């Protein structure tokens, strides 16, 4: 028996969305299908304490060797998908759904003279409309609610005949949840029309009936018939409740394969939902390595060729609709080719709105999660991390192992608000406590190379200072107990300063040098970084650059880049570090830009800094009041002397009255800060 701990997914990898999960045995066969409101809570319950599980569940988790899941949009979709997959895979541990035991459907027997609404299980019968599947509790509540609006017959044949013979309806007829065709209260034609309306509502035409009832309620109010208006109001509320609960995936005649993908520079995760008869009949997913010059339309074209030109459609015939996120390259020819395989026309479309677009977003969410899970597992795998570091060391011909890597990125908008970031990776994992942010001003903000030189100089100057401080501190360390110096010079020297052993020493923030510095950029940025290290006399730290356009690795003073294979774990590690540095720099840049874009009419006053501007606004309440104040009144504010008060008065007098009405505005949000 397998140990569940060997295939247990990490808690953070499991989404909290509703969905359906599948346990597979070592041969890949599905042995159990289940659904959950929260996939994370449900799956964790299988692994938290296997010994406390029921005997059947204990046997299942020990017979399985892997678990996978599919995110859906609602609990109803998870119910439908679970039911579909249980019928398709016939998992041996889903005993409750074997034989004739199935989820219940809401059925309308349109083949009878007086159609009947009932709950049905088992095989479908001709002449009967089915809606569902539902859970047992939900279907009873749905039927009971709808019968008050559509009082269709729901009694058995025996009860109906007995009521016909006695001339008295059953209880439902007396409480107006049946139109009582058994005693002639309604004609067969009108009763059939009532059953048709019931089916139309369940088929998705709820808005038409709700709008009709709303008009009737308005008419009743206009006639001052408030009791009838209240009854119609309750009917509307009941229909809305059922409509929300009864949302189906797609129309019953829909046959389509819905593709979605989520990609980055290296890889793409693809998911496809196979919809047959309006229900999701299957799901497949892949994570593919991207070819360098593949665009998204090229990727979609290649995907469809592989799916339908290889092993064919594993979930039945090729459908009449193939829904994709973007139109593939050569869409016309591809549709013609697929039509030849199917023997009929195939439409390749991008859904823009409606149920199909909503389901496409669900498929896309699954693709996004699949790529995230793939990358998380690869980054968290010790063997893969070790392989990436070793590949990188060999490709760059470095003599030392890459225990610590630091990556630097510069961010700005047309040379304004220039900032930089430093992210740290130790043993292939990010060390966020050592991340740093830099503001770049003055001549260093002239261009990216100057900014990179400035940032590297500041970072490694701190390193040298912290290193010197550690050396000086170690020189003052007391001698170990029991060891006495025999030097007469030491004996005759002044006593050493007593060390403070109770107060923690300040943490040396930059005391640890990296083995490798990675800069975001090509040859110019790499040479600027290498020059900064050389100016400081540091020769044991290696520098490379990663150019984003072609993912080339540049070395200092090299005319040609190092090209790593696209599938290289070392290249993936460099990209992950670079992207993290870029994210960190962008966040800091936006924060700084937001603060810098707050402008005020007080900004141009000579000698008036930020703290004194705040003091003025706190004292007077607005810029307008500051402008109207005299020099003596301004002097009463905290920190405002007579000279500065005179400068403020002169500033507003020179600019005219219009300047005083200019409020402080946040240029990012448009929000007025001062008025």
Position 673 in a domain: no
CATH number, domain with residue 52: 3.40.1440.10
Summary mean pLDDT of the chain: 77
pLDDT at site 447: 82
Residue bearing the bigger pLDDT, 190 or 475: 190
Q: How many domains does the chain have?
A: 5
Give the domain range for residue 613: 597-666
85's CB contacts (< 8 A; 6+ apart) are: 20, 22, 30, 33, 282
Sign of the CA dihedral running 56, 60, 62, 67: negative
**Tokens 């019931």, residue located:** 198
The residue from 97, 121, 142 where one domain ends is 97
203's CB contacts (< 8 A; 6+ apart) are: 131
Position 111 in a domain: yes
CATH number, domain with residue 628: 1.10.150.20
Shared domain for 20 and 88, answered yes or no, is yes
pLDDT reading at 306 higher than 70: yes
pLDDT at site 282: 65
pLDDT reading at 222 higher than 80: yes
Q: Rounded to an integer, what distance in angstroms lies between the CA atom of residue 520 and that of residue 108?
A: 66
CATH number, domain with residue 394: 3.30.420.340
SS3 (DSSP) at 406: strand
Shared domain for 393 and 513, answered yes or no, is yes
Burial 240-251 (b: 16+ CB within 10 A, else e): eebbeebebbbe
Look at the pTM and tell me if it is higher than 0.75.
no
482's CB contacts (< 8 A; 6+ apart) are: none
Position 616 in a domain: yes
452's CB contacts (< 8 A; 6+ apart) are: 408, 410, 420, 519, 521, 525, 528, 529, 532
Per residue in 508-519, pLDDT (tens digit) is: 566 678 889 999
CB of 499 closer than 8 Å to CB of 421: no
Average pLDDT over residues 368-396: 76
CB of 553 closer than 8 Å to CB of 561: yes
pLDDT reading at 281 higher than 70: no
pLDDT at site 570: 82
Shared domain for 624 and 557, answered yes or no, is no
pLDDT-derived band at 230, boundaries 50, 70, 90: confident
Per residue in 525-542, pLDDT (tens digit) is: 899 999 999 988 888 888
SS3 (DSSP) at 469: helix
Give the residue among 312, 310, 320 at the shortest CA–CA distance from 349.
Answer: 320
SS3 of 517-577: EEEECCHHHHHHHHHHHHHCCCCCCEEEEEECCCCEEECCCCCCCECCCCCCHHHHHHHHH
pLDDT-derived band at 350, boundaries 50, 70, 90: very high
Average pLDDT over residues 333-341: 82
The tokens for 306 are 């592989």
Position 480 in a domain: no
pLDDT at site 99: 35
SS3 (DSSP) at 418: strand
CB of 667 closer than 8 Å to CB of 597: yes
Per residue in 193-203, pLDDT (tens digit) is: 888 888 887 76
Shared domain for 198 and 166, answered yes or no, is yes
pLDDT reading at 278 higher than 90: no
Q: Would you call 610 exposed, middle or buried from its count of C-beta atoms within 10 A (0-12, 13-18, 19+)?
A: exposed
pLDDT at site 156: 87
pLDDT-derived band at 485, boundaries 50, 70, 90: very low
Position 453 in a domain: yes
What would you report as the CA-atom Rg of the chain, rounded to the nearest whole angstrom? 37
Shared domain for 444 and 566, answered yes or no, is yes
Q: Would you call 295 exposed, middle or buried from its count of C-beta atoms within 10 A (0-12, 13-18, 19+)?
A: exposed
**Number of neighbours of residue 415 by Cβ within 10 angstroms:** 11
Give the residue among 373, 445, 389 at the shortest CA–CA distance from 9.
Answer: 373
Average pLDDT over residues 281-287: 74
Shared domain for 588 and 603, answered yes or no, is no
Give the residue among 582, 595, 457 at the shortest CA–CA distance from 531.
Answer: 457
Q: How many CA atoms lie less than 13 Å away from 298 in the CB half-sphere?
A: 6
Shared domain for 311 and 436, answered yes or no, is no
Q: How many CA atoms lie less than 13 Å away from 144 in the CB half-sphere?
A: 6
pLDDT at site 344: 87
% of the chain surpassing 70 pLDDT: 78
Position 18 in a domain: yes
Average pLDDT over residues 549-562: 81
The tokens for 530 are 């290498």
Question: Crossing angle of helices 382-396/354-380, nearest 10°?
Answer: 70
pLDDT-derived band at 504, boundaries 50, 70, 90: very low
% of the chain surpassing 90 pLDDT: 7
By DSSP bridging, strand 516-520 and strand 436-439 are unpaired
CB of 427 closer than 8 Å to CB of 403: yes
Per residue in 398-412, pLDDT (tens digit) is: 887 788 899 998 887
Per residue in 99-146, pLDDT (tens digit) is: 334 457 788 898 888 899 888 876 668 888 887 656 555 667 777 778
pLDDT-derived band at 333, boundaries 50, 70, 90: confident
The residue from 245, 264, 297 where one domain ends is 245
Query: In sequence order, what DSSP letters do the residues of 211-280 get, joined into one string?
Result: HHHHHHHHHHHHTT-HHHHHHHHHHHHHHHHHHHHT--SS-TT--EEEEEEEE-SSEEEEEEEEEETTEE
What Cα–Cα distance (Å) separates residue 532 from each residue in 230, 310, 445, 537? 80, 55, 15, 9
Residue bearing the bigger pLDDT, 449 or 280: 449
Number of alpha helices (DSSP H) and beta strands (DSSP E) in the chain = 22, 20
Shared domain for 162 and 119, answered yes or no, is yes
Position 291 in a domain: yes
Per residue in 239-271, pLDDT (tens digit) is: 776 665 544 456 667 788 999 998 876 678 888
SS3 (DSSP) at 435: coil
pLDDT reading at 22 higher than 90: yes
Position 476 in a domain: no
pLDDT-derived band at 173, boundaries 50, 70, 90: confident
Shared domain for 440 and 571, answered yes or no, is yes
Average pLDDT over residues 357-375: 84
What Cα–Cα distance (Å) separates residue 318 from each residue in 297, 314, 347, 358? 21, 9, 11, 22
pLDDT reading at 23 higher than 90: yes
SS3 of 386-403: HHHHHHHHHHHCCCCCCC
Shared domain for 436 and 546, answered yes or no, is yes
The CA-to-CA distance between both ends of the chain, in Å, stands at 73
Shared domain for 47 and 164, answered yes or no, is no
The residue from 378, 406, 435 where one domain ends is 378
Shared domain for 182 and 135, answered yes or no, is yes
Q: How many CA atoms lie less than 13 Å away from 388 in the CB half-sphere?
A: 26
């Amino acid at each position: 028996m397998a140990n569940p701990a060997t295939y247990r997914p990490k808690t953070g990898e499991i989404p909290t969305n509703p969905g359906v999960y599948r346990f597979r045995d070592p041969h890949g066969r599905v042995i159990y299908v289940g659904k959950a409101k929260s996939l994370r809570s449900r799956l964790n319950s299988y692994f938290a304490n296997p010994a406390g599980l029921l005997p059947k569940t204990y046997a299942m988790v020990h017979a399985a060797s892997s678990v996978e899941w599919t995110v859906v949009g609602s609990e109803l979709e998870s119910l439908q998908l679970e039911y579909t997959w249980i019928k398709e895979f016939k998992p041996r541990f889903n005993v409750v759904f074997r034989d004739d035991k199935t989820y219940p459907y809401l059925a309308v027997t349109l083949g009878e003279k007086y159609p009947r609404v009932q709950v049905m299980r088992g095989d479908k019968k001709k002449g009967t409309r089915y809606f569902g599947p539902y859970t047992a509790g939900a279907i009873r509540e749905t039927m009971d609610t709808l019968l008050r609006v559509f009082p269709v017959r729901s009694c058995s044949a025996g009860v109906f005949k007995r009521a016909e013979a006695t001339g008295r309806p059953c209880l439902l007829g007396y409480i107006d949840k049946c139109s009582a065709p058994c005693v002639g209260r309604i004609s067969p034609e009108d009763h059939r029309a009532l059953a048709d309306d019931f089916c139309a509502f369940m088929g998705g035409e709820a808005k038409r009936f709700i709008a009709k009832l709303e008009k009737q309620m308005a008419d009743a109010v206009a006639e001052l018939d408030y009791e009838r208006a209240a009854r119609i109001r309750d009917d509307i509320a009941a229909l809305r409740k059922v409509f929300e609960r009864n949302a189906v995936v797609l129309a019953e005649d829909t046959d389509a394969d819905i593709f979605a993908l989520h990609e980055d520079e290296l890889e793409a995760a693809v998911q496809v939902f196979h919809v047959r008869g309006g229900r999701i009949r299957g799901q497949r997913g892949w994570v593919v390595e991207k070819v360098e010059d593949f665009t998204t339309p090229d990727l979609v074209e290649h995907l469809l060729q592989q799916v339908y030109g290889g092993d064919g459609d594993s979930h039945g015939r090729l459908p009449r609709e193939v829904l994709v996120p973007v139109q593939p390259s050569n869409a016309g020819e591809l549709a013609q080719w697929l039509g030849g395989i199917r023997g009929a026309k195939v439409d390749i479309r991008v859904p823009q709105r409606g149920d199909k677009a909503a389901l496409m977003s669900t498929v896309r969410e699954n693709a996004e999660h699949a790529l995230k899970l793939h990358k998380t597992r690869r980054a968290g795998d010790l063997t893969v991390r070790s392989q990436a570091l070793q590949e990188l060391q060999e490709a760059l011909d470095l003599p030392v192992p890459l225990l610590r890597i630091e990556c630097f990125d510069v961010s700005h908008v047309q040379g304004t608000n220039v900032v930089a970031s430093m992210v740290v990776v130790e043993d292939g994992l990010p060390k966020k406590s050592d991340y740093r942010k830099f503001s770049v001003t003055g001549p260093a903000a002239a261009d990216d190379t100057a900014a990179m030189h400035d940032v590297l100089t500041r970072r490694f100057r701190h390193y040298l200072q912290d290193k010197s401080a550690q050396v000086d501190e170690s020189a003052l360390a007391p001698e170990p107990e029991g060891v006495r110096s025999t030097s007469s010079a030491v004996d005759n020297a002044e006593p050493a300063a007593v060390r403070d052993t109770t107060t923690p020493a300040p943490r040396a923030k930059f005391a640890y040098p990296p083995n490798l510095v990675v800069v975001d950029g090509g040859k110019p940025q790499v040479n600027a970084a290498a020059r900064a290290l050389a100016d400081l006399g540091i020769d044991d730290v290696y520098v490379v650059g990663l150019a984003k356009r072609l993912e080339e690795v540049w070395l200092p003073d090299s005319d040609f880049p190092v090209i790593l294979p696209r599938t290289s774990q070392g290249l993936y590690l460099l990209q992950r570090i670079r992207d993290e540095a870029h994210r960190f720099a962008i966040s800091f840049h936006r924060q700084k830009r937001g603060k810098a874009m707050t402008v005020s009419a007080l900004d141009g006053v000579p000698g008036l800094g930020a703290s004194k501007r705040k003091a003025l606004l706190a004292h007077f309440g607005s810029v307008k009041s500051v402008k109207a104040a005299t020099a003596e009144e301004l002097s009463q504010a905290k920190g405002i002397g007579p000279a500065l008060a005179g400068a403020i008065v002169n500033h507003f007098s020179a600019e005219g009255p219009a300047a005083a009405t200019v409020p402080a505005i946040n240029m990012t949000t448009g929000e007025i800060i001062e008025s």
